[in-house]
Copies of this chain bind each other. A is one copy, B any other.
Amino acid sequence: MGISGSKKVISHGLKHCTLWKADRSPPCRAVMMALDALNLSITEVDVNMDKGEHRGPELAVYNPLQTLPIFKDRELILNDSHAITSYLAARYCNSGKFLPKDPGGRAIIDQLMHYDSSILYPRFRAAAYPILYQNCKYVMPQQVCAIECAYRDLECMLVGRTWLGGSWPTLGDITIAATLSTLNVMVPVDPQRYPRLSSWLYRMSEEIYYITANKKGLGEFSRRLGELLEVNKRVTC
């Protein structure tokens, strides 16, 4: 576990805030993208999940559920990425650009975040965990099917829209981009079947915070998955 040395120079430093994270994890990358989008800099601590550091006694105090990310702002401790990103935007960003201040606008973003929480991320977990932790050598067919269903949902949500949550990218887009870009590694988003979703993901991949805060961890996830599938292939030969 060590303080991340890769942080860019960003204007608004919050020395009293700390994020414990692993770049490979989509929820951690959602928080990291939100920080860069909101132009906020906080202390970031890398946690090695392969060594089980997130289950150690130091972090158990902050999160009995033993998940990442963990966020601390003085006395406030949060463990859910959606709650963390919304908090950062509501507390430290006056513009409301990424999280509207009016209740109706915010409700649209909340709804997207709950779609990620209840549908998208659980389907990522169900597809990825057997490969990462249970020696499975492929994405199981029922998981591919569930992920394709989610792609259809999102394709439908993008009818008549450039972004998921409004006229510009918001925390809703950022949250879903973190999970979707990772799902895309396992079950590629077919541009023929999902043209809107495919274009949206391409647009998101050009946003500066996606490049600074999502790309590296996504690459790490992709490499780790490739290694495991390769190892598993060898085992089964």
A residues sitting closer than 8 Å to B (CB atoms) are 64-65, 73, 76, 78-80, 82-84, 86-87, 90-91, 103-104, 106-108, 110-111, 113-115, 117-118, 121-122, 153, 156-157
**Contact with A122, one of B78, B115, B122 (Cβ below 8 angstroms):** B122
CA of A217 to CA of B99, assembled, Å: 34
**Contact with A107, one of B65, B76, B156 (Cβ below 8 angstroms):** B76
Q: Which residues of B contact A121 (CB under 8 A)?
A: 118
**Contact with A82, one of B110, B122, B153, B156 (Cβ below 8 angstroms):** B110
Q: Which residues of B contact A108 (CB under 8 A)?
A: 78, 83
How far in angstroms is the closest Cβ of chain B from A147? 15
Q: Which residues of B contact A122 (CB under 8 A)?
A: 118, 122
Do A111 and B64 contact each other (CB < 8 Å), given the known contacts A104-B91, A122-B122?
Answer: no
CA of A121 to CA of B121, assembled, Å: 14
Contact between chains at B156 and A78 (CB < 8 Å): no
CA of A73 to CA of B103, assembled, Å: 12
Do A83 and B111 contact each other (CB < 8 Å), given the known contacts A103-B90, A104-B76, A118-B117?
Answer: yes
**Given A83-B111, A117-B118, 17 more contacts at CB 8 Å?**
A76-B107, A78-B111, A80-B114, A80-B118, A82-B114, A83-B107, A83-B110, A86-B103, A86-B110, A87-B104, A87-B110, A91-B104, A113-B114, A114-B114, A117-B117, A118-B118, A118-B122
Q: Which residues of B contact A73 (CB under 8 A)?
A: 104
CA of A121 to CA of B114, assembled, Å: 12
Do A87 and B103 contact each other (CB < 8 Å), given the known contacts A64-B156, A110-B80?
Answer: yes
How far in angstroms is the closest Cβ of chain B from A117? 4
Sort A-B residue pairs by CB-CB distance and give the 3 closest, nearest first. A87-B107, A90-B103, A83-B111
**Contact with A84, one of B79, B87, B107, B115 (Cβ below 8 angstroms):** B107
